[in-house]
Amino acid sequence: MDTFDQQHIWHPYAKVPNTIPAYVVESADGVYLQLEGGIKVIDGMSSWWSAIHGYNHPVLNQAIETQLKKMSHVMFGGLTHQPAIDLAKILVEITPENLTKVFFTDSGSVSVEVALKMALQYWHNKGQTDKHKFITIRGGYHGDTFGAMSVCDPDNGMHHLFAGVLPKHFFVKSPSMVSMDEALQDLESILKQNSKSIAAMILEPVVQGAGGMRIYNPQYLTKAKALCNTHKVLFILDEIATGFGRTGELFALEYVDVEPDILCLGKALTGGYMTLAATLTTDDVANTVGTLMHGPTFMANPLACAVANASIKLLLNSDWQDNIARIEKHFHAELSSLRINDKVADVRILGAIAVVEMQDDIKVELIQNRLIELGVWLRPYGSLLYTMPPFTIKDDELSLITKAIKTVVAEL
């Protein structure tokens, strides 16, 4: 741990001085992080779910190096470049057919901000200015920027401190994997009463991320979209965490082939190399919105677009579905038995995602130290001990992660 870092640098969801140590990473290669002091650990987090190909990948390195020799950045206002054109083409090709327009941003949170702004401007330009609220299911997380915070879970999320100043939106019951009728009834009731003021529904398809790592029945998406259509409410899907194969489908919406009006992408878009996100929408939304008053300085950064193109091609040309199925099978075989542990509340597995929810909150510093001793890097939060490893992870490396999880659960 670097003492200057501890005393002066703010880390995510931490204070200064930082009471939980931040480990110095000297290098990264494949699925491994080389920590200061000669410690080598498997990254079971894929750098917050983004480094799906692992680190220091030669194909992605080459994409960055080739683009760097041409230009590292150029403003996107009034100018364009081939990496952005190529990336927009491939995103339109691999996402639902109705999504034809692409707006690039520089982070997942900002892609959500753009989606919300699109929805508001859409109804404003249709003369329905009262439609300025949003509706979402509880347990969701959509980012830390202001608009995104307002559609995160208001009670159990990370943003309750700002409850008094955030816009007030509608939160409905969340579906589960086994039950969704009650959640749909709640959604229908709120839409019936308030659709004249609701611009859009936003939710994470199938898997809720940082709001609680919950997995729910994909059929909810189809029924929720139908209700939104009936009540003239736009449908926004946030695939920032679930996109690019993480759940076992290229996008989680493919479990039911639902077509959103707006789609948010990020995280694994560049294979974890650079920050980049995108908001896709339909001809109808784009034509109605017209000029969208938003333009990040580093919008469509050429380096980021170039490595995103390389990452998507690398994924699509690989046996990624077999890899995800292999990882999921391993998780079921090694972690499902933890359900009988009295200290475990639940075990949830889908694709390359495994979540062990404990009955009580986890002491992060103690557990992280123990996990590093066991050769694994994980970042627990709340009562959740979970892993989302790179897709390239080998079976023996995967075994180290699941053995480490079982070990710390047994020791809690």
- pLDDT tens for each residue of 5-22: 999 999 988 889 988 889
* pLDDT for residue 77: 97
The pLDDT value recorded for residue 338 is 98
Query: Do 250 and 397 share a domain, yes or no?
Result: no
Task: Reply yes or no on whether 153 is catalytic.
Answer: no
* 141 noted as active-site residue: yes
Q: What is the mean pLDDT of the chain?
A: 96
CATH number of the domain where residue 103 is located = 3.40.640.10
Structure confidence by residue, pLDDT tens digits, 195-206: 999 999 999 999
Q: Which of 13, 196, 343, 394 is catalytic?
A: 13
Adjacent-strand bridge partners of 55: 30
Domain check: are 191 and 332 in the same one?
no
Handedness of CA 301, 306, 307, 311 (dihedral sign): positive
Active site residue 238: yes
Q: Which of 206, 284, 202 is nearest to 235 (CA)?
A: 202
State the average pLDDT over residues 307-315: 98
User: In the prediction, which pLDDT does 165 show?
Assistant: 86
Do 20 and 103 have their domain in common? no
- Do 183 and 220 contact (CB within 8 A), yes or no? yes
Q: Based on the fold, state whether residues 342 and 261 are members of the same structural domain.
A: no
**What is the span of the domain harbouring residue 225?**
62-316
User: In the predicted model, is pLDDT for residue 157 greater than 80?
Assistant: no
Task: Show which of 316, 336, 358 is a domain's final residue.
Answer: 316
pLDDT of 124 > 90? The answer is yes
332-348, pLDDT tens digit by residue?
999 999 999 999 999 99
| 106 and 252 housed in the same domain | yes
CA angle 17, 19, 23 (to 5 degrees): 95
DSSP per position, 114-130: HHHHHHHHHHHHTT-TT
Alpha-helix runs per DSSP H in 215-293: 219-230, 283-289
* % of the chain at pLDDT higher than 70: 99
The total number of structural domains in the chain stands at 2
> Which of 316, 345, 367 marks a domain boundary?
316
What pLDDT, on the 0 to 100 scale, is given for residue 161?
75
Selecting among 101, 133, 223, 267, the annotated active-site residue is: 267
> Is residue 54 a contact partner of residue 34, using CB atoms and an 8 Å limit?
no
Query: Do 358 and 217 share a domain, yes or no?
Result: no
pLDDT in tens, 89-121: 999 999 999 999 999 999 999 999 999 999 999
Structure confidence at residue 154 (pLDDT): 85
At 373 the pLDDT is: 97
Q: Are 80 and 299 in contact (CB under 8 A)?
A: no
**Are 406 and 371 a contacting pair, CB within 8 Å?**
no
Per residue in 268-290, pLDDT (tens digit) is 999 999 999 999 999 999 999 99
> What is the C-alpha to C-alpha distance for residues 309 and 296, in angstroms, rounded to an integer?
20
What is the predicted pLDDT for the residue at 329? Answer: 98
Q: What number is the average pLDDT over the span 254-262? A: 97
As a whole number, mean pLDDT of residues 347-363 equals: 97
> Which residue in 141, 216, 220, 273 is the catalytic one?
141
Q: Which of 153, 186, 238, 261 is catalytic?
A: 238
Same domain, 268 and 404: no
Considering the domain architecture, whether residues 82 and 169 belong to the same structural domain is answered as yes
Residue 155 pLDDT level (bands cut at 50, 70, 90): confident
Domain boundary among 300, 316, 332: 316
* Angle, helices 219-230/181-194, rounded to nearest 10 degrees: 20
Assign residue 337 the CATH number of its domain: 3.90.1150.10
Co-location of 297 and 386 in the same domain: no
Q: Do 35 and 82 belong to one domain?
A: no
Are 165 and 20 contained in the same domain?
Answer: no
Cα separation, 333 vs 328, in Å, equals 9
Q: Which helix (H) or strand (E) holds 86?
A: helix 82-94
Distances (CA, A) of 106 to 276, 295, 297, 298: 4, 10, 9, 7
Residue 1 has pLDDT above 80, yes or no: no
If asked whether residues 234 and 117 sit together in one domain, one would say yes
Q: How far is CA 246 from CA 170, 251, 253, 391, in A?
A: 29, 8, 12, 8
Residue type, 36: E
**DSSP string spanning 6-21?**
HHH---TT--SS-SSP
Neighbours of 9 (CB within 10 A): 13
pLDDT digits (tens, 9 = 90+) for 229-253: 999 999 999 999 999 999 999 999 9
Please count the other Cβ atoms lying within 10 Å of the Cβ belonging to residue 348.
Answer: 19
pLDDT given at position 159? 65
381 is catalytic: no
pLDDT over threshold 80, residue 255: yes
